[in-house]
Structures are given as structure tokens and as C-alpha cells.
Chains A and B, each alone.
Chain A
Amino acid sequence: MACAKEIWQTIGEGFVQEYYHQFDTTSRTTLGDLYSADACLTWEGAVFAGKKDISEKLASLPFKTIKHIITGQDFQPTLDSCIFIMVFGQLKVDDEQPMAFHQVFMLKSQPGTWVCTNDMFRLGIHNLSV
């Protein structure tokens, strides 16, 4: 018997799919539309505040091609009716070796849509012992 998916999982999956689709297939100039005006991004430890700065950072990332492959994603509702998301997987930039990454998002409901208010991205930086 199939379990009904929780609404926050459905919304979260939709956001994640849209985010990485835009990230991987566009020039990333419209990614800013997914964020709230006062959103906060921490990208490899550097902080970007506000939709404009976030947009500029993402559009200026110095690679020609990128592909994210999502291994797993976790979703939780929060007490303030937001959606907390953790994504992990691998990404491949240009002709470089694949690298692990993980990213956390917080989504908040606005009229007619859900926007990202918080975003934290880190490359996976530890070797896994074989």
C-alpha cells in the first residue's frame, strides 16, 4: 500500500527539483527568484545577504557546465510552518572529478508560492575510508 506523502515532502521535492534544474541547465540568472528578498546564503563559508547578492554570486560561479546528482534528500516541517531540507549528492563541474556536496534549505510560504529564506552549501571535504 502506498503511503500518502506528507505535504512538506511534496513541496520540498518540488523546490529541490526546480533549484537544481535551474542550476544545471540555465545561466543561473533567474535562480534569485527562488529566494526571498532577505534570504541568506552561506556558500563554502562565505555569507551573501539578500536576493540580489545571492543572485550575483550564483550567476558568477566560474564554471561552464555543472551537473548535480542527488543521492538523498530529507524534509521536515518546522514549528513556524517552514520546510527544512537537507540534500546530499555529487556534482561534476566541467571536466573535473565528481565531488560530494551537501546543501541545506529553509523554505517559507509566501502568497501563492514557497521561497527559500536560508541556504547553506558545502562541498564534501572528507575522504571516505576504503
Chain B
Amino acid sequence: MVDQPLWEQIGSSFVQHYYHLFDSDRSQLGTIYIDESCLTWEGQQFQGKKAIVGKLISLPFPKIVHSITVQDHQPTPDCNILSMVVGQLKVDDDPVMGFHQSFLLKNINSAWVCTNDMFRLAIHNFG
């Protein structure tokens, strides 16, 4: 068994936890952000845990399922973890859509939190 680098273990645990919360109960997502966090959601900026969770809770669908296709993780020089996720999501009865999302994770008081988050739907056809 090949050992996964620590940043990959932390990154992939975070990603699993994030989408589990997103798909089951978005109101719980506040636990992963801090007051200094920043979200860019389809080009719109949201600053701070309260505004971010407010945006995510207000997304106009009761049901969503994310399916992760690939994820990449890297350590940064400031000992943070950078993660990029590519996947598909299905909202209610709408057709499946591609998405990509990037996170920056920081260790604060022994917990990994998300300080930066950028989400975009994939809007170009492949091939």
C-alpha cells in the first residue's frame, strides 16, 4: 500500500466531509468556515462565515447530489492545503451539470478550516 502524503489525506477528508454536509444539510457548513473566510460562488463574492452560510442555505434547491470525478491536493509554502475538485452535480430533477471547486485549507487551533472557496459550474462542452 502506497502511503498518501499528509496533505492529500487531509484534503480528501475535507472534500468528503464538505460534500457530505452540502448534500445532506447545508446549514452545518458553518463549521468548516471562519469569520475571515471568503467564497466566490459563480463570480459573486461572500465574505465571512455568516454571509457564506447564508448564501449556501439560500441556494434555491431542496435536493443536490455531488459526484466527485477527480481531486488534486497540494501543500502551500505557508503550510496550508490547496485542493481542486472536478465533478458533476444533480439538483432536484434537473440534468446533471459539471462543476469545479477549489478550496484553501488552514490549520487553526488543531482544526482544518476552509479560508478560501471558489465554485464554478462547468459551462463548456468537452470534445
Which residues does A use to contact B, with CB under 8 Å? Answer: 36, 38, 40, 42, 45, 47, 71-72, 74, 76-80, 82, 84, 86, 88-90, 97-100, 102, 104, 106, 108, 117-118, 120, 122-129
Which listed residue, B115, B116, B122, touches A128 by the CB 8 Å rule?
B122
A117 to B76, CA, bound (A): 7
Q: With contacts A78-B115, A122-B70, A126-B69 known, is A104 near B124, CB below 8 A?
A: no
A59 to B88, CA, bound (A): 32
Asked if residues B115 and A79 are in contact (CB atoms below 8 Å), the reply is: yes
**A72 partner residues in chain B, CB cutoff 8 A:** 43, 120
With contacts A45-B70, A78-B116 taken as known, whether A100 is within 8 angstroms of B75 at the C-beta atoms is no
CB distance from B60 to the nearest CB of A (A): 19
In the assembled complex, the Cα of A120 lies from the Cα of B38 at a distance in Å of 20
Judging by beta carbons under 8 Å apart, are A99 and B72 in contact? Answer: no
Top-3 shortest CB links A-B: A126-B98, A100-B124, A129-B95
B82 and A118: CB pair below 8 A? yes
How far, in Å, is A62 (CB) from chain B's closest CB? 19
Residue from B97, B116, B126 with most neighbouring chain A CB atoms (10 Å):
B126
Q: Cα distance A126–B125 when bound, in Å?
A: 7
Interface residues of B (CB under 8 A from A): 36, 38, 40, 43, 45, 69-70, 72, 74-78, 80, 82, 84, 86-88, 95-98, 100, 102, 104, 106, 115-116, 118, 120, 122-127
Contact residues in A for B120 (Cβ distance below 8 Å): 72, 74, 86, 88, 102
B72 touching A124, Cβ below 8 Å:
no
A100 / chain B contacts, CB cutoff of 8 Å: 122, 124-126
Q: Are B72 and A120 in contact (CB under 8 A)?
A: yes
Residue of B nearest to A102 (CB): B100
Q: A76-B40, A79-B115 are in contact. Are A128 and B98 (CB under 8 A)?
A: yes
Closest chain B CB from A37 CB (angstroms): 10
In the complex, the chain B residue whose C-beta lies closest to that of A42 is B72
Min Cβ gap A79→B in Å is: 5
- In whole angstroms, how far apart are the Cα atoms of A121 and B118 in the complex? 15
Known pairs A80-B78, A118-B76; A129 contacts B97 (CB<8 A): yes
Contact B116–A84 (Cβ < 8 Å): yes
Apart from the given pairs A36-B77, A74-B40, 12 other A-B contacts in the complex at a CB distance below 8 Å: A47-B74, A71-B123, A76-B40, A76-B118, A78-B104, A79-B106, A86-B120, A88-B120, A122-B86, A123-B126, A125-B86, A128-B125
